[in-house]
Structure 1
Amino acid sequence: MSTDAKILVVDDEERIRRLLKMYLEREEYDVMEAENGEEALDLALHHEFDVILLDLMLPGMDGIEVCQELRKAKATPVIMLTAKGEEANRVQGFEVGTDDYIVKPFSPREVILRVKALLRRASSTKFLQTETQAKDILVFPHLTIDNDAHRVTVDNDIIGLTPKEYELLLYLAQSPDKVFSREQLLKDVWNYDFFGDLRTVDTHIKRLREKLSRVSEDAADMISTVWGVGYKFEAAAK
């Protein structure tokens, strides 16, 4: 089945770009390439991509800088490509808005699975829309989630969230006071049944709280840590 999804592949190694392009085009994705950070950022800002595969170590402007600058203007989903031993950089990547990462050397099948998972979640969140047909607007003290408009407001201020941050908040808010383990969140929000780093959840929770707290500490406090278990959304802030 054909798709209109557009993917940007960013890597300074032509061999890797060609490999990824070949496998992605087999899935009928529309693929563009960039070989450095400056070119990638220019393309990302002037085109509408559904997913960006972004190498961390690029000459000149690296993947962290590209993602950081991109997030000032757009919430395009980003999958960072990193080498083993770059764990600290991966954490930094999550902190500037990366949605996922893949460790080199990678299997093309894993890349396709990750891309499909991110497209399925970030482009339309169909499973959420189906389940929340009768309640497309969730209203809490200090916080409103309008799922029809894909918009979060805190004390009447619109909060800019990445697709994954939005999905995570909506997923938690749909089941107030229910505790979710990190493993469950990875499975249901990231669609990871057999791979995924639990710190991915922690880092996204941290970013989500930080964004909410810039407007309202009460709203940020609604996302509660249950030590040794996971996280929950408290309908009434602490």
Structure 2
Amino acid sequence: MTEAAPTHLLIVDDDERIRELLKRYLIKQGFMVTAARDAAQARRLLNGLAFDLIVLDVMMPGEDGVSLTRWLRAERTTPVILLTARGEAQDRIAGFEAGADDYIPKPFEPRELVLRINAILRRAPRTDSAPMGRQTLILGKMRYDVENGELRDGTDPVRLTHTEAALLRILAARQGQVVSREALVDQLGRDRGGSGETAQERAIDVQITRLRRKIESDPRRPRFLQTVRGEGYMLTAG
């Protein structure tokens, strides 16, 4: 019998300290957690990954949490818990009218958040999750099963070399974030157990080019596997 995949949460908060504290605490409670620093990054993640629940800060620079909640409700039914420093009734009403499932004023105890999450999940079926609880990145017509490391063109499997598969797995784990060449070299070295040839940065560039040929409709103008000049590479689903 296949073990059920852990509940996948998306934490969206512009305060890095709060974001990281919540992420660490929730992981210890058995959740799978992805974090976003603002609404724009959250949208990119939501375009490529399925989540079981979203914990969303209201007061953020740029698009605020209430606006993002309205967008979510037009697209999907994923439960939303809003976090805010505001405690006035009107602010709570605005959040609920936007489609939020719950509302927690800051400061709060992380344990209370876990209780609220579990209470909502007991009521809400995981309707927006990928089949069988798997996380799937959508790359145009391509689909990447994060759990199994399988890339498919429609229903047809796409063969990846060991290095291509490792690169895609590393980039998918940090989807929407820039990963430096140095970090890719280091991670590939650990994946190989620290033995054999050490991956070099120029070799990474070659492998990225080969991987693009398999996931991009136009590898010369990549849409999903992007080069961030002077920084590294970024995988962006959608």
Structure 2 length-normalised TM: 0.49
Choose 1 or 2 for highest CA Rg.
2
